[in-house]
Amino acid sequence: MTTAERPEVEIQDVTPVTVKPITVTDFAASKIKELISQRGLGEDHALRVFVAGGGCSGMQYGMAFENDIQEFDTVVNAADGVKVVIDATSMMYLEGAIVDFVDSLMGGGFRIENPNATSSCGCGHSFRTEGSEGATDGGCSSCG
């Protein structure tokens, strides 16, 4: 192919956009550290946050302490030396989310504010994203 035969290609300026994987509030980080200590786990443990199929909205959040960080995990270094890890598949659903800890008279626990969720269960443990399928009526056993 000669220069005269090559199709013309328009080059556009591309501005890279970096999205912070997730944010862990200072209060959530202190609770994670407290729970790791209460369970007698070492400083090598992290909180794994993940998304799994299920729940009344189609997807549900999960959390577990572990010390096995995988090659493609995203590691978030939070306050107090706390680490939060997210697997690559879950990261697609959690990008930009905020992990917080809520302590109220009605009970406490970790809460995830997920900008990718188009709807969520009343208790906040289950969610749906645009284009995903889930139950359309009722709720989970936690929220009624």
Residue 81 located in a structural domain: yes
What CA–CA distance (Å, rounded) separates 92 from 90? 5
Please say whether the beta carbons of 56 and 144 come within 8 A. Answer: no
pLDDT of the residue at 141: 47
pLDDT of the residue at 45: 96
pLDDT of the residue at 12: 57
Walk along the chain (144 residues) and give the pLDDT tens digit of each residue: 555 565 565 655 555 545 568 999 999 999 999 999 999 999 899 999 998 887 666 788 899 999 999 989 999 999 989 999 999 999 988 999 999 999 887 778 998 888 877 766 655 555 556 655 544 444 444 444
Residue 62 located in a structural domain: yes
pLDDT of the residue at 143: 47
132-91-64 Cα angle (round to 5): 105
Contact partners, residue 125, CB within 8 Å, separation at least 6: 55, 60, 61, 140, 142
Residue 75 located in a structural domain: yes
Question: How many domains, in total, are found in the chain?
Answer: 1
pLDDT of the residue at 105: 79
Residue 53 located in a structural domain: yes
Residue 41 located in a structural domain: yes
Q: Which residue has the tokens 């359309």?
A: 136
Residue 9 located in a structural domain: no
pLDDT of the residue at 65: 97
pLDDT of the residue at 114: 86
CATH of the domain at 122: 2.60.300.12
- Per the structure, the complete domain to which residue 106 belongs is given by 21-129
Residue 90 located in a structural domain: yes
Distances (CA, A) of 136 to 121, 123, 127: 10, 15, 11
- Output the pTM of the full model: 0.72
What CA–CA distance (Å, rounded) separates 21 from 39? 27
Residue 84 located in a structural domain: yes
User: Which of 142, 57, 133, 71 has the alpha carbon at shortest distance from 107?
Assistant: 142
Q: Which residue has the tokens 């407290």?
A: 34
